[in-house]
């Protein structure tokens, strides 16, 4: 549960971000480059809703077996903006979470941005996970001239990857069994390639809607 201080910081940060949107409009949305990380399992059972969609009303109730999420998984790290996916990395299950890995990723991202968004003055958005906010990572961000947007603590509901991108991806993957990490990676990449620009733009706009919900009714989005 958020403390009173956390709630105040959350509202202050959301207000700051909305002021940017109020001043810059759509250009602010277009500049945001958001980062997200999540485990993707080799098998994740269908949700109850998905199972019901395939069951005809007259069909007998199936025998129930315990269907569990597989232990095998890969870590997906993705950077995306209102136009689409900018950079993807897949990490093995036994990877070590430290500041060296995010710095290596940032170097790759910098190169990738020059290729796919050469005229974009991106502002980076990520959560407050310790590897992302360590002194070494912050120094690397500064040296690479990345501008970073603030993000309130314990606020995954304000991170577009967490409340928008990953839930939709995982809903698509549910019920499918993948034999290897490579199969998972191929399925994820294929799903991303199928998404049009509007899909990613909608995700960024929903972020602004979430910010406004935190700040109250005084904010009217364009």
For the chain, percent of residues with pLDDT exceeding 90: 64
pLDDT(162) > 80 = yes
pTM (two decimals): 0.87
pLDDT(20) > 60 = yes
Would you say residue 1 lies in a domain? Answer: no
Would you say residue 8 lies in a domain? Answer: no
Chain mean pLDDT for the chain: 88
* Tens-place pLDDT, residues 91-141: 998 887 777 888 999 999 999 999 999 888 899 998 877 777 788 999 999
Distance CA 206, CA 162 (A): 12
Would you say residue 187 lies in a domain? Answer: yes
Would you say residue 6 lies in a domain? Answer: no
Would you say residue 92 lies in a domain? Answer: yes
Provide the CATH number for the domain around residue 178: 3.30.420.10
Q: What's the domain count of the chain?
A: 1
pLDDT computed for residue 57 by the predictor: 54
Range of the structural domain that residue 192 is part of: 28-39+69-215
Mean pLDDT computed over 9-33: 92
Distance CA 79, CA 81 (A): 7
Would you say residue 20 lies in a domain? Answer: no
Mean pLDDT computed over 50-65: 52
pLDDT(37) > 90 = yes
Would you say residue 61 lies in a domain? Answer: no
Q: Supply the DSSP string of 124-159, one letter for each residue.
A: EE----HHHHSHHHHHHHHHTT-EE----TT-GGG-
Would you say residue 21 lies in a domain? Answer: no
* C-alpha pair distances (Å), 170 with each of 20, 128, 158, 166, 207: 31, 23, 18, 6, 19
Residues contacting residue 172 through CB under 8 Å, at least 6 positions apart: 191
pLDDT computed for residue 64 by the predictor: 47
**Helix (DSSP H) and strand (DSSP E) numbers for the chain:** 10, 5
């Amino acid at each position: 549960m958020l403390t009173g201080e956390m709630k105040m910081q959350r509202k202050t940060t959301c207000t700051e971000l909305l002021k940017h949107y109020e001043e810059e409009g759509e250009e602010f949305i277009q500049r945001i480059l958001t980062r997200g990380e999540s485990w993707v399992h080799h098998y994740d059972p269908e949700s109850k809703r998905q199972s019901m969609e395939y069951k005809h009303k007259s069909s007998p109730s199936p025998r129930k077996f315990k269907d569990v999420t597989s232990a095998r998984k890969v870590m997906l790290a993705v950077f995306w903006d209102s136009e689409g996916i900018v950079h993807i990395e897949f990490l093995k299950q036994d990877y070590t979470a430290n500041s060296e890995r995010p710095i290596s990723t940032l170097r790759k991202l910098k190169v990738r941005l020059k290729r796919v968004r050469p005229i974009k003055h991106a502002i980076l958005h990520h959560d407050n996970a310790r590897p992302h906010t360590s002194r070494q990572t912050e120094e690397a961000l500064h040296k690479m001239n990345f501008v970073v947007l603030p993000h309130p603590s314990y606020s995954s509901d304000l991170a577009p990857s967490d409340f928008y991108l990953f839930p939709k991806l995982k809903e698509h993957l549910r019920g499918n069994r993948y034999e290897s990490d490579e199969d998972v990676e191929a399925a994820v990449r294929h799903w991303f390639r199928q998404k049009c620009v509007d899909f990613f733009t909608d995700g960024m706009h929903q972020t602004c809607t979430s910010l406004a919900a935190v700040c109250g009714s005084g904010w009217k989005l364009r």
